[in-house]
Amino acid sequence: MGSPFRIIVSCQDSVGLSQTIQKAQSLAQDLEMQLSDYQVSSDLSQVNQRAGSGQFYPIQEPFRAILKESLWAKQQSGGDLTIFIGKLVAAWRIARKTQILPDPAMLQKWAKAIQSPCLEFNADSSSIRLTNADCQLDVGSIGKGFVAQRVLDYLVKSGYPYALVDAGGKISASQVNPQGDAWKVALELPNSKKISTDLIEIKNQSIASSGKTYQQVEIAGKNYSHVINPKTGIGLEHARSATAIAPDGARADWIATAATIMELDELQVMLKSFPQVQLLVWEYQKGELEILLNHGILKVD
């Protein structure tokens, strides 16, 4: 999905490990060929190309699984997170290259369209269709975490229970060794040496971060994030970032993204439905770092 991919395995006997890693990488490539909008021939791209035509397109189990979690995410976030923003994502990708603001009328049109139901399954849920041409799938808010978790699950089932998978910064991990030691992950908060030196321990968990640090564009004096508010069609203008830890990679991924969009009070209500999720939300205001929400990640003195 256009990002680096890394696998780390902790083991004493490496016999057969190389072959298992190759199969794990093949699994990641197969998932990409189902879910990436960068691949014209992917299942996701094929579904998008048929949007509004009335045609169903057959999908595989991973695709159905990510759709199920994504629809749940849309419900839990009150519509602040949705995977039907493909047209908006494409428009803002062009904007980042040209530094020209997308047509506001088109953004509003697409944002309105994706508020209605966009997806239909056939009778046995083996095929799907998008009911409106303005609804296009984009799994950027959940895909990398989903792939990381699927690859980790494969490694564990293949006899390598101590592993970490990093899919473009979305990390899923088991534990380091039979003693139950946790992996230590550095939390990158630009311009903040104090917090970036804190190490977070994860074990049988996933961690994901979202924000506009690396993907943003300045147009007419305003900075716009690659994260889009689906209710307005506009890239986020605030400097908020978030890190989520959850038992599942896809869930950590979408909750981190949702946390940059949702109002804080709504976010706190949503977290009540996810007792195993930890979340940190922060923002730079006038050059100063402000912690907006610390839900179990940073140690409080």
Whether 107 maps to a domain, the answer reads no
Say how far apart CA 17 and CA 250 lie, in whole Å. Answer: 26
Domain count, the chain: 1
Structure confidence at residue 66 (pLDDT): 98
Whether 246 maps to a domain, the answer reads yes
Structure confidence at residue 12 (pLDDT): 80
Say how far apart CA 17 and CA 24 lie, in whole Å. Answer: 10
Q: What pTM was estimated for this model as a whole?
A: 0.93
CB 32 within 8 A of CB 147: yes
Whether 226 maps to a domain, the answer reads yes
| Environment class of 35 (CB within 10 Å of its CB; exposed 0-12, middle 13-18, buried 19+) | buried
Q: Which domain holds residue 247?
A: 180-295
Structure confidence at residue 190 (pLDDT): 55
**Residue that the structure tokens 């009328």 belong to:** 105
Structure confidence at residue 301 (pLDDT): 62
Structure confidence at residue 189 (pLDDT): 64
Whether 289 maps to a domain, the answer reads yes
Whether 123 maps to a domain, the answer reads no
Structure confidence at residue 272 (pLDDT): 96
252: nearest Cα among 177, 200, 215: 200
CATH value at residue 228: 3.10.520.10
- For the chain, the straight-line distance linking the first and the last C-alpha, in angstroms and rounded, comes to 40
Structure confidence at residue 217 (pLDDT): 79
Neighbours of 40 (CB within 10 A): 10
Say how far apart CA 15 and CA 159 lie, in whole Å. Answer: 11
Rounded alpha-carbon distances, angstroms, from residue 151 to 32, 109, 160, 223, 301? 12, 38, 11, 35, 37
Concatenate the DSSP letters of all residues of 151-207 into one string. Answer: HHHHHHHTT--SEEEEETTEEEE--SSTT-PPEEEE---TT-HHHHTPEEEESSEEE
172: nearest Cα among 164, 180, 184: 164
> Tens of pLDDT along the chain (301 residues)?
567 899 999 988 788 899 999 999 999 999 999 999 888 999 999 999 999 999 999 999 999 999 999 999 999 999 999 999 999 999 999 998 999 999 999 999 999 999 999 999 999 999 999 999 999 999 999 999 999 999 999 999 999 999 999 998 899 999 999 999 999 998 876 555 455 667 899 999 999 998 765 567 788 888 888 889 999 999 888 878 899 999 999 999 999 999 999 999 999 999 999 999 999 999 877 778 889 999 999 877 6
Whether 301 maps to a domain, the answer reads no
List CB contacts of 289: < 8 A, sequence separation 6 or more: 189, 191, 192, 195, 282, 283
Whether 284 maps to a domain, the answer reads yes
Say how far apart CA 244 and CA 142 lie, in whole Å. Answer: 12
- What's the token pair of residue 116? 């209605």
Structure confidence at residue 186 (pLDDT): 84
Whether 159 maps to a domain, the answer reads no
| Environment class of 298 (CB within 10 Å of its CB; exposed 0-12, middle 13-18, buried 19+) | middle
